[in-house]
Amino acid sequence: MSGSLRLSVLDQSPISEGSTGTQALANTLDLARHTDGLGFHRYWLAEHHGGPMLAGAAPEVLIGPVAAATQRIRVGSGGVMLPHYSPFKVAEAFSILANLFPGRIDLGLGRASGTDPITALALQRERNKRLPDDFAQQLAELLALLDDTMPVEHPFARLADLPGGPERPQQWLLGSSAQSAIWAGELGLSYAFADFINPGGAEIAADYRARFAPSAHLQAPRTAVAAWVICAETTEEAQELAASSRMSLSLLRRGKLIPVPPVEKALRYLDEQGEPRGAAPAGRRAIIGNPEKVRADLEALASAYGAEEAIAVTITFDHEARKRSYSLLAEAFGLDAAGAPGPEA
């Protein structure tokens, strides 16, 4: 690997127009094997609900098949949206995964709903009232169950004997706002910031490092930044490939959800809307270009965040173009599966 920057993958399992969720999930397994062979460090599965564009609704279900299909790469959630779930159930599921694949499982936790309000309501067991925003309490309960630090007087104390065995997942807090950095720093957790959602997170990441308190899991802050990346042989080609996701995002902002459209259709849409083909979506950052440009931009982004790791989110209409993007990214950074850093402590 060139330098010390680790490269990882966040896969949202995109569904292309004319395709199916079944094919999108098959593509996820194919991409996982591909990036494992290229030397990427970790492979995270996202959680999104209730739309025709992304098939990744259940990272806890996909992690097992992805880990079984790969050899070296770490596999985890990017992330589990904890407000939808019982902390105990999450602890049990990731205990089992961590013991099936020792030293390779990550538990990335998020606070967002990952969907629209109606779908979020459908995910709730209790429909008669809005659930309280008790993420901090949920997080504390989950960490206590995983770490077996539940106070003896707590009614859940006996539940810390989790079914999988002694192995535990590596714990990450995910965020796109300031509050997540506060919790991650004070609890001594690894922190991943979603720059592809909020491109203004460099100061938030700095606040995380300033607040960091060493924990049983982590003695020094560990930061990753997730970025929107499309790499092709030429910058012009990469910009054309990016048109598909730009059209999808443009319509999403208007309340219309669609599968990932073909490049030609997306380019016509952008032209009709008067949007320049090479620009990033409004309010978003996109790292799009040839290998040299993408490497320079990604290194600059990681430096701004003080991040040791960059996580690439890539959506294209054509699955082979997405695989090629990751191949070119690996070549640009000199990744080598045999020489890439091994499993983390």
Q: How many CB atoms lie within 10 A of CB 325?
A: 23
- pLDDT value of position 189: 97
Q: Which two tokens stand for residue 175?
A: 């965020």
- pLDDT value of position 88: 95
Q: Which two tokens stand for residue 96?
A: 């089992």
Cα–Cα distances in angstroms (integers) from residue 36 to residues 15, 68, 74, 332, in the given order: 22, 12, 9, 16
Is residue 261 within 8 Å of residue 17, measured between CB atoms? yes
Q: Alpha-carbon distance 275 to 341, whole Å?
A: 41
Task: Render the burial of 326-338: b for 16+ CB within 10 Å, e for the rest.
Answer: bbbbbebbebeee
The whole model's pTM is what? Answer: 0.93
- pLDDT value of position 114: 64
Q: Which of 19, 167, 37, 23 is nearest to 91 (CA)?
A: 167
Q: Alpha-carbon distance 337 to 327, whole Å?
A: 12
- pLDDT value of position 187: 96
Q: How many CB atoms lie within 10 A of CB 12?
A: 20
- pLDDT value of position 337: 65
Q: Mean pLDDT for each 10-residue chunk of the chain (345 residues)?
A: 80 98 98 98 95 95 98 96 94 97 97 77 75 88 93 85 90 96 97 96 98 94 97 97 94 92 97 82 87 98 98 98 98 78 51
CATH number of the 6-228+286-333 domain: 3.20.20.30
- pLDDT value of position 91: 96
Instruction: Write down the domain spans for the chain.
Output: 6-228+286-333
